[in-house]
Amino acid sequence: MNKNVLMLFAFLIGMVSFAQQERALKLNDNTNLIDVTYFHDNGVVSQTGSYTLDGKLQGEWLSFDTDGNKSASASYDNGKKVGKWFYWTDKTLKEVDYTNNAIVSVNDWKKDSKTSVALRH
């Protein structure tokens, strides 16, 4: 498959997943993944991550609010949720542990907790 067909495929996946968001796509020759960045309407980055050439989420994905603050960190392995995922709000940090697309544990911390500060930075 040539790069133009791959980029078109990735573009179509992006249209289905994030129909209203602006995005930037680039084939990463080193990883053989399609790196993507999605943007909020105000131009601030909303998500970053990568797709496999067959359209599956791969590696670390980060989400940001409209002010550019990190709101989530997630990991995928060939489209499956894996590892520790983190969700930040103004008052809490939620950690969700996944193995092979299944939740194995969930932990919550308040913002002033020493644990949440250590994990967040």
Q: What pLDDT sits at residue 8?
A: 44
Q: For residue 110, is it within any domain? A: no
* Distance of alpha carbon 45 from alpha carbon 13, whole angstroms: 18
- CB distance 25 to 35 below 8 Å: yes
Q: Count of domains in the chain?
A: 1
Which residue range forms the structural domain that includes residue 25? Answer: 1-59
Q: For residue 88, is it within any domain? A: no
* Distance of alpha carbon 20 from alpha carbon 11, whole angstroms: 13
pTM of the model: 0.73
Q: What is the pLDDT along the chain (121 residues), one digit of tens a residue?
A: 444 444 444 444 544 444 456 889 999 999 999 999 999 999 999 999 999 999 999 999 999 999 999 999 999 999 999 999 999 988 889 999 999 899 999 999 886 665 543 333 2
